[in-house]
Amino acid sequence: MSDPRKVVIHKAGSYDRLKIEPIDTPSPSPSEVVIDVKAIGINYADVIVRMGLYQSAKDLVGWPITPGFEVSGVITQVGKDVSKFAVGDEVIAVTLFNGYSSVLAVEEKYVFEKPESLSFAQAAGLPAVMMTAWFALFELAHPRPGAKLLVHSAAGGVGTSLVQLGKIADCEIVGVVGGTHKVETALSVGCDVVIDKSKQDLWAEAEKHAPEGYDVICDANGVATLKDSYDHLRRAGKLVVYGFSTMMPKTGGKPNWLKLISGFLRTPRFNPLDLTTDSKSVLAFNLSYLFDRTDMLEAFVSDLQGWLEAGQIKAPPTTEYSLEDVAKAHADIESGTTVGKLILVP
């Protein structure tokens, strides 16, 4: 293992706030393992953390902060009470921030075995996106077999995960992508139809494929599509919200405050009286606020391992960056042009 280091953000801002700093190798508490990190999953939430706009980062950590929710690597130390793992085990771990580190101490309950079929990069890119999709579909939406499911951003990390789990739930899936270069990725993971909104009228096409409306729509766009998503639900339909990406910049790395305020003011408010009359539901979540729900993590890991063993899901395509290129990785994920998962390799 080379000298340990991590990415530290001392103050909100653009890419220049991402500093790589040396750290000491941690000693595990009795219930922790120490992981020599081989790969780190990058999520869109990480750039929101850097901008100082991620509420749970402000509530739970403050400044300075190291972003990152998921890693894979090899265990190098175990605490005296650890029973499931030994030195040398290849594992995946989820973290409440602090993931952009080359070495990490993690509570045993947040660590699970890395499947042999996955590379370290593939493994690090699975937990956040797959658990987001799992929670959206199996904890909140509960689609029936044959349900019509519309997935925005269907070629991204969460999008490809939603599509795959939607097929496991026997849904008919319409995926939406923002560029022609993303169509093949969305089709490859199981979309029955892909709408390329860079060339097609999104909602006119959506109506063609579900004239009566959709049973479930998964939307992390925010103000740009939320109202239309709700309007295109059928009776008893469910809109699942897990992000607001269209309020954020695609270049420059800093929030546009006028755009943010405008987006906030234009974001639809759903009145319980209207929801009752419409017989529709709006469901929303942020997994970082659910980190203490290890019961759900255990259920998710069990499902994920079963699906991987059965060959029912595959890891999203990955693009790797060195730790020194973390700023470029952030710029790329903000641009909205990437597919699959971006991975840091320390």
pLDDT greater than 70 at residue 1: no
pLDDT greater than 70 at residue 140: yes
For residue range 246-285, what is the model confidence (pLDDT) as tens digits? 888 888 888 888 888 898 899 999 999 999 999 999 999 9
Q: What percentage of the chain carries pLDDT values higher than 90?
A: 90
Q: Where are the alpha helices (DSSP H) in 125-278?
A: 127-134, 157-168, 183-188, 202-209, 226-231, 257-266, 272-278
For residue range 262-272, what is the model confidence (pLDDT) as tens digits? 988 999 999 99
Q: What pLDDT score was predicted for residue 246?
A: 84
Q: Name 78's Cβ contacts closer than 8 Å, sequence gap at least 6.
A: 28, 33, 34, 85, 86, 87
pLDDT band at 336 (very low <50, low <70, confident <90, very high): confident
pLDDT greater than 90 at residue 2: no
SS3 state of residue 85: coil
For residue range 58-96, what is the model confidence (pLDDT) as tens digits? 999 999 999 999 999 999 999 999 999 999 999 999 999
Q: What pLDDT score was predicted for residue 250?
A: 84
pLDDT greater than 70 at residue 173: yes
Q: Mind listing the domains of the chain with CATH numbers?
A: 5-126+317-345 (3.90.180.10), 128-288 (3.40.50.720)
For the packed helices 127-134 and 294-309, what is the interaxial angle rounded to 10 degrees?
A: 100
Q: Can you tell me the distance from the alpha carbon of 199 to that of 205, in angstroms, rounded to the nearest whole number?
A: 11
Q: What is the mean pLDDT of the chain?
A: 95
SS in 3 state form for 226-252? HHHHHHCEEEEEEEEECCCHHHCCCCC
Best CA proximity match to 175, nearest among 192, 194, 162? 194
